[in-house]
Amino acid sequence: MNKREIQQLLSLWKSTLRLGFNNSNDIVDEIRKRDPQKKIHRTTGPPVIYDRLTFHSQIGLQAQLCKLMPEHIEIINSEPALTGHDWPIKDYVELYYNHYNLVVTKLKEILCNVAC
């Protein structure tokens, strides 16, 4: 396990999430101007993503982390449980990004417990 490389990837993932959250909220603000009651109801399939650039970056970072931390693939590739409910659009974005921020935090804790 290359601790330094994993730490760098986790830091980059955290930055990517922050950027994606901010970009998504900017897009959501524009959508809410047109439709203040906009809700998202997901049943299956990929998440509703507003900032595709950071989404694709996140997928790449997850793939790299899976190679370096194969024993934690389930955590790295976990998805937020957002199905079956009508989410206000802003709440949906917040829940989506908070899930992955929690994943990064937990992976940092795991890395520290293993390599500290």
Confidence of residue 4 (pLDDT cuts 50, 70, 90): very high
3-class DSSP assignment, residue 80: coil
Whole-angstrom Cα distance, residue 15 to residue 9? 10
Q: Is the pTM for the entire model greater than 0.85? A: yes
* CA 103 to chain CA centroid, nearest Å: 8
Average pLDDT over the chain, rounded to whole? 90
Domain extents in the chain = 3-115
CA 79 to each of CA 1, 31, 71, 75, 98: distance values in angstroms, whole numbers, following the listed order: 24, 24, 17, 9, 11
| pLDDT tens for each residue of 66-89 | 999 999 999 999 988 877 788 888
